[in-house]
Amino acid sequence: MSKRYYIETMGCQMNEYDSDHLSRILEDSGYLRASAPEQADFVLLNTCSVRAKAEQKALSRLGRLASLKRKNSRLLLAVAGCVAQQRGVELLERFPGLDLVLGPREIGSFRGILGKAEKGGMRVAAVDVHGTPGSFLGGFEYFQHRVKAYITIMEGCNNFCSYCIVPYVRGRETSRLPQELLDEARSLALQGVKEITLLGQNVNSYVNEKMRFPGLLQAMNEIKELHRIRFTTSHPKDLSPELIQCFAHLEKLCSHIHLPFQAGSNRVLKAMKRGYTREKYMDLIGELRNARPGIAVTSDVMVGFPGETDEDFEMTLDLIRRVEFDNLFSFKYSDREGTPAAKMEDKIPEPQKLARLDRLQELQRKITLKKNRELIGKNLEILVEGRSKKGQSLAGRTANNKVVNFINDKRYINQLINVTIKRASFNSLWGELTSLRC
């Protein structure tokens, strides 16, 4: 009987991309996908540690998966991703049922480590931060039969924002070769992928002797079979005029940018080591909106950074009112061990952080609703991805990255169609079919 594997992915899209590579290696090694961990011979949890809550969630899930070992002693249990990198061998001590700890830059050695683990008796913590990440392995044929795909173009981060653990767990910035990325994108497009999202902790820092990020976007735009290009995440300090101009000239580049601002007070931005001011950030948004009128802007923001005063927080609310983001991902600051912010004084008490977060989210809710309502009556193209969350209708995304639900007719799955927006709520839009494109 064939061996079976089960992978559970937490965290960001880069982890999803890594999980795809791990799946491919497992399938090459003779494993078939299982639909539940109880039915698998190899279980892997791909984790995120960007915030304390994500790490706690990963550890508690790992504890539950480790208990499967009591029923099936032959099961191999692995943990990958940022918690694996950060905690390393400590996880083997804490979870006796765990066989393998695999950092994000050890995916390149996974095939060999798997072979050894299968022979039995060996518990391994592979956490070399200078190793080979999954994205450098190639082998993208795996992603066929999808309409949307990710391509990780660079790994790691050199910015060391004072609150962030990413540079410690994902290592320094390393960019992949442009030719390899273009081949990967072309091959995906020929297999039917219509939309590609280019991924990296900081895609604007993509660099190669042949091209920088705007050049790469330009070359991607020329792939005939490809319809849509997105990218994430960008850092405001590296958003060059050339990149902004891409929004004016590249028709396949979707009208959406995710540009984390983190805080609206210059004092806090400085303590965070972000490298820009609130004024500079707002100028960038103005330039983006000039280059591509109607572009959707989303962002990440934190409340309760050490020392954040009421005035600082008011500056954050003020920036939100001025920019009017389409959507915001908002978080309470949490200490990450080993970062400079974790050692700062003047920590904000939890109830105060929560009260600030509530106020901020209430404000953003109104803005998002207003922005969504402005789309009523508009005719928009959507890429239909499948059933909606509740399953009664189909759902797709506009170029602006807004979710649109419409009638349930499976003929439209994986198609680019045009819909007229009829209703809008905070979470989604409701559309009616206007035309089918291809």
Total residues interacting with ligand SF4, rule: CB under 6 A: 10
**Can you point out the beta strands (E) in 81-223?**
100-102, 124-126, 148-152, 154-155, 174-175, 195-199
Kindly state whether residue 44 participates in binding ligand 5AD, applying the rule CB under 6 A: no
Binds ligand 5AD by CB under 6 A, chosen from 262, 398, 405, 414: 262
Taking the complex as a whole, the smallest distance from the CB of residue 10 to ligand SF4 amounts, in Å, to 17
Segment contacting ligand SF4 (CB under 6 A): 155-163, 317-325, 398-406, 415-423?
Answer: 155-163
Structure tokens at 120: 């039995």
Q: For the chain, report the end-to-end CA distance as a whole number of angstroms.
A: 42
Q: Are strands 416-424 and 429-436 parallel, antiparallel or unpaired?
A: antiparallel
Q: Are strands 42-47 and 3-9 parallel, antiparallel or unpaired?
A: parallel
Binds ligand SF4 by CB under 6 A, chosen from 161, 185, 271, 296: 161
Distance CA 274, CA 159 (A): 8
| Contact by Cβ (8 Å): 257, 297 | yes
Tell me which residue of 145, 197, 170 sits closest to 397, measured CA to CA: 197
Kindly state whether residue 162 participates in binding ligand SF4, applying the rule CB under 6 A: no
Kindly state whether residue 159 participates in binding ligand 5AD, applying the rule CB under 6 A: no
DSSP 3-state of 319 = helix
* CA angle 298–287–237, rounded 5-degree value: 65
> Quick one: what does residue 331 bind among ligand SF4, ligand 5AD, none, with the CB cut-off 5 to 8 Å set by partner type?
ligand 5AD
Kindly state whether residue 421 participates in binding ligand 5AD, applying the rule CB under 6 A: no
| Contact by Cβ (8 Å): 386, 394 | yes
Distance CA 383, CA 53 (A): 33
Tell me which residue of 268, 275, 285 sits closest to 341, measured CA to CA: 268
Kindly state whether residue 334 participates in binding ligand SF4, applying the rule CB under 6 A: no
> Quick one: what does residue 402 bind among ligand SF4, ligand 5AD, none, with the CB cut-off 5 to 8 Å set by partner type?
none
Kindly state whether residue 396 participates in binding ligand SF4, applying the rule CB under 6 A: no
Nearer to ligand SF4, 269 or 375 (CB): 269
Segment contacting ligand 5AD (CB under 6 A): 83-91, 272-280, 329-337, 383-391?
Answer: 329-337
Taking the complex as a whole, the smallest distance from the CB of residue 199 to ligand SF4 amounts, in Å, to 12
Segment contacting ligand SF4 (CB under 6 A): 74-82, 120-128, 157-165, 183-191?
Answer: 157-165
Taking the complex as a whole, the smallest distance from the CB of residue 310 to ligand 5AD amounts, in Å, to 19
- Describe the strand order of the beta sheet including 296-303 as a list of residue ranges: 256-258, 296-303, 327-332
Kindly state whether residue 51 participates in binding ligand 5AD, applying the rule CB under 6 A: yes
| Contact by Cβ (8 Å): 284, 275 | no
**Span 287-306, contacts to ligand 5AD by CB under 6 A:** 300, 302
Binds ligand 5AD by CB under 6 A, chosen from 260, 264, 306, 431: 260
Which positions touch ligand 5AD (CB under 6 A)? Answer: 50-51, 163-164, 260, 262, 300, 302, 331, 333-334, 336
Which positions touch ligand SF4 (CB under 6 A)? Answer: 157, 159-161, 164, 166-167, 201-202, 235
